Structure 1
Amino acid sequence: MPDFPKNHATLSKGFGALLILAIILASLNLRPAVTSLGSLLDLVIEDLQMNGFVAGMITGIPPLCFALMGPLAPRLAGKRGPELVVAAAMGAVLLGIALRAVAPGTGFFLLCTALALAGIAVGNILMPVLVKRWFPGKIGIVTGAYTTAVALGASGVAGIAVPVNQMLGGNWRLGLGFWAILALLALMLWLLVYFGMRNRIAAQQQLAGSATDGAGIGPMRKNATAWWVALFFGGQSAVAYIFMGWLPKIFIDFGVSPAFAGSLLAILLGVGVPLSFVMPALAAKFSNQTPLVIFNGAVGIIAIIGLLLAPVQGAVLWAVLLGICGSNFPLALTMIGLKARTAAGVSKLSTFGQSAGYLMAFPGPFLVGVLHETSGSWVAPIWLIAGLIVFQTLVGIMAGRPRYIEDTQLREVR
């Protein structure tokens, strides 16, 4: 790996540990607003009398919101610094989750959900920026820590949302509002970090200029490396959201019980928890991440073939293999930190890669539903998933090559 510029303020061990803890706690809040709602959606639909279109929009809208709202992050961070903006993002998640729990109707419920998703979108973009800003020599380890937290927040809340709701009396409002506590803890810790590190944050700004405005770096839409990263992020996101939305139904229609189908999704997401820590550490050791991309792609194709040939008999194995393939998510996030030399570059690459990627991922779950409805079987949708896995593997090979967005800009200037 190259020697990165020493444009970061030194952190004491105490503040370094506190900042890592804050990053982890914020990352735990980047999925519960989505996965807790999915588990209780039937209760919400019934109580608020939502129609099918609105219900379908709620399940498919998160990646679109992430794509549209993510670009706000660098603009805000450029003015106030990413630390304060992440604190504000946790406040948005807190308010969104808490207020939608008391929503009198569908419109207010959607508005509050959008507020929470806006906070999540900002957090998605700024986590890699913070890692590069404060831990440039430990990108793999710290990225692994926060992507593991994202995976835990997704799989853990999905698994216990229903029991928690039952424990609270079966009232979906309490069941959804409960997760505001997690956001409150994150907000309190980030305020502590911000006010406790104000001098260090100011020193960082002075050393690096603006760590998030990307001055001197060309537009990402004209940068080949940025496009490969965005395509890779989009491909893996599409597959991930397809499985989160459709995997249980696919297995149920193949003859698996609903309870077992739910556990298969939990297995798929659960496999991603340890891999979310392992994959970034491995990726950071290689200047070229292509071998990891190819391995994940091969495992995913094996799982797809198995799903077509023996969906029930090998259901657990296919879920495990698909979970391994899903480690392309932490790999893509690690690439964002590795394919730029500075925090400014990471900010621009993170914004472009995640926003464009989530926008590409948005149609995936809808296309699966359309193919299933028109064909009357799951064969065509599964082939679509196979095509997406091949696609993300091919573009991931290009994204993993040892090159940097600033290098591309230098060639353009010359």
Structure 2
Amino acid sequence: MMGLMASEETRTLPSTTVRTPAASPGTRTAPGGGAPRAWRTRLLVVAIVLAALNLRPAITSLGALLEEVRDGLGMSGSVAGLLTSVPPLCFAVFGVTAPRLARRFGTGAVVCAGMAAIGTGLLIRPYAGGTAAFLAATALALMGIAVSNVLMPVIVKRWFPDRVGSMTGLYSMALALGTATAAAVTVPLTGTLGGNWQSGLAVWAALAAAAVLPWLAFVRDRDEAPAERAPAPGHTEPAQDGRAPAGAPALRITRSRTAWALAVFFGLQATAAYITMGWMPQIFRDAGVPAGTAGLLLAVTMVMGVPLAFVIPRLATRLPQQGPIVLALGVSGLVGYAGLYLAPAAGAWLWALLLGVANCAFPLALTMVGMRARSSAGVAQLSAFAQSTGYLISIPGPLLVGVLYQHSGGWGLPIALMAGLLVPQTIVGVLAGRDRTVEDEATAG
């Protein structure tokens, strides 16, 4: 869904322009009726930032303490691999329910419930008492993340139509900050709390609880739900759920080779990202790097996405084809994995930086979603297809890494797998970056 927002900034091909009519007396300009009051707008900005901060700590805090969790719960390497596969599975399964829930209950109510689910899941999972209960509580938190992740861009577009770029940048920076902070401070915070891994994981529930409070003010904004916004007078606009306007040619997205290339590219980059978040600290710790430093190394990898998420989309839109960027990211990843294999401790900071660059395939994928479709409906349909298919593709990767680690007794085979997946990722990324649109390939005759 972030691709829907990226498309507003990155589309360079002709598209249907959505015009917002000038406000007039009696015109509703914000959810809740009437012109938005200043305090309400400022409160929503705070709510968006707090929500974004909560969209990754459930994952990266666990990665920093994975060894302690495995020992405490008696997990095998295969089960730990399953645990690192849970996030993309939940994103694929629960994310698709978000628009329907928003239409029924309102977007603000669903995000508020999502923050509550995150807090509840994070609070109970360390004390669940067994592996199955730990997985169930983790799934609860990830369910809240999934629906919130899908609906946040909708809220930004609805409330800040003239500031989509700046608000999306703020949201993206907060998301990256939450990701990196949880990776960096979970281990030292655990030490401060007495060295108990349960406390080190449960403390992140407080951040989610804080995010619930500002969203309570938007629970009753039922008219804010996607697909319920009326188009401007005299203007035909595709629905927020991606349905094409009446009379438009049918777009059969599965007929498009570009759509499939983007879906596979998205899935393989997501595989790399979740393997990195779930396993990279353990790789460094097994190489003799202290636990706190291993968490900082993951934070460095994650925080690289903050500046590059602004640079890469701008560069991508200036190029007719995005293949050169795909190649550069692929080379960075291959060098980083080679370093992890040959000298994981000696060059740890350099490998973390290079893998952070490689992980910026995510904003590139979102940018290409916006560039590979001409219409708003095409962007919505391509984004939904690429992300849902991509998250399904990414599920086996972290699990397979855990299985290989357990049965080989080392990181040689898992790192070889990570490096090997970069080859098809680069190939399909180059194909997805060609100057063409899904409408040209997938419009039914």
Normalized against structure 1, the TM-score is what? Answer: 0.81
Residues 7, 169 of structure 1: CA spacing in aligned structure 2 closer, same or farther, 3 A cutoff? farther
Structure 2 gap ranges (5+)? 1-11, 22-28, 232-236
Name 1:211's counterpart in structure 2.
240
Task: Give the drift of 1:157.
Answer: 0.8
Which runs of structure 2 are paired with 1:8-407 in the superposition (5 Å)? 19-44=44-69, 54-80=79-105, 82-100=107-125, 103=128, 105-131=130-156, 141-193=166-218, 195=220, 205-207=229-231, 208=237, 210-212=239-241, 214-215=243-244, 218=251, 220-254=253-287, 256=289, 259-283=292-316, 288-340=321-373, 345-372=378-405, 378-406=411-439
**Counterparts of 2:436 and 2:380 in 1: how far apart (Å)?**
17
Matches of 1:337 and 1:102 in 2, distance apart? 43
Question: Matched residue of 1:61: which SS?
Answer: helix
Separation in 2, partners of 1:17, 1:291: 40
Residues 218-241 of structure 1 deviation map (CA, whole Å, 9 limit, x = unaligned): 454344343222211111111122
CA distance in structure 1 between the aligned counterparts of 2:195 and 2:152, rounded to whole angstroms: 35
Letter in 2 for 1:206: A
Change (3 A) 1:139 1:212: same
Identical-residue share of aligned pairs (%):
49
Question: For 1:124-164, what per-residue CA distance to the aligned partner results, in whole angstroms no more than 9, with x for missing partners?
Answer: 33344445556667665544433332222222112112333
Q: AA paired with 2:121?
A: G
State how far apart, in whole Å, the 2-side matches of 1:212 and 1:122 are. 14
| Distance of 1:303 and 1:8 partners within structure 2 | 47
Name structure 1 gaps, 5 residues minimum: none
In structure 2, the CA distance between the partners of 1:69 and 1:32, relative to structure 1 (3 Å rule), is same
- Distance (whole Å) between structure 2 residues aligned to residue 263 and residue 200 of structure 1: 39
**8 A Cα contact 1:145 1:277, kept in partner:** no
Q: Distance in 2 between matches of 1:35 and 1:247?
A: 10
In 2, Cα distance between the equivalents of 1:202 and 1:361? 27
2:337 counterpart letter in structure 1: I
Q: Does the aligned pair in 1 maintain the 2:86–2:139 contact within 8 Å?
A: no
SS at match of 2:229: helix
State the match for 1:6 in structure 2.
18
Greater Cα shift, 342-351 or 313-322: 342-351
Counterpart code for 2:300: I
Going from structure 1 to structure 2, the CA distance change for 1:5 and 1:405 (only over 3 Å counts) comes to farther
**CA-to-partner distance for each residue in 1:270-322, whole Å, 9 max, x for gaps?**
32333234434444555644333232123223333444555444332222111
8 Å CA contact 1:297, 1:389 repeated in 2: yes
Whole-Å separation in 2 of the counterparts to 1:398 and 1:241: 23
Q: Say if 2:118 and 2:140, in contact at 8 Å, map to a contact too.
A: yes
Separation in 1, partners of 2:320, 2:162: 14
Contact residue 236 and residue 326 of structure 1 kept, 8 A: yes
Q: Give the drift of 1:117.
A: 0.9
Which stretch of the first structure deviates more once superposed, 62-71 or 262-271? 262-271
Contact 2:114 2:148 in 1 (8 A): yes
Note the alpha carbon deviations across 1:205-229, whole angstroms, 9 max, x for none. 1125741252566454344343222
Cα deviations by residue, 1:141-197 (Å, 9 ceiling, x for unpaired):
5444333322222221121123333434445444333222322333333343465x6
Q: Quick check: 103-112 or 90-99, which moved more?
A: 103-112
Supply the distance in 2 between the matched residues of 1:402 and 1:227 (Cα, whole angstroms). 15
Contact in 2 for aligned 1:233/1:357 (Cα 8 Å) = yes
Q: Which moved more, 1:91-100 or 1:339-348?
A: 339-348
Q: Distance in 1 between matches of 2:102 and 2:375?
A: 15
* Residues in 1 aligned to 2:194 and 2:203: alpha-carbon distance in whole angstroms: 12
1:104–1:306 distance in 2 versus 1, CA, 3 Å: closer
- Normalising by structure 2, we get a TM-score of 0.76
The answer to whether the 8 Å contact 1:78/1:212 transfers is no
Q: Which has the higher helix share?
A: 1
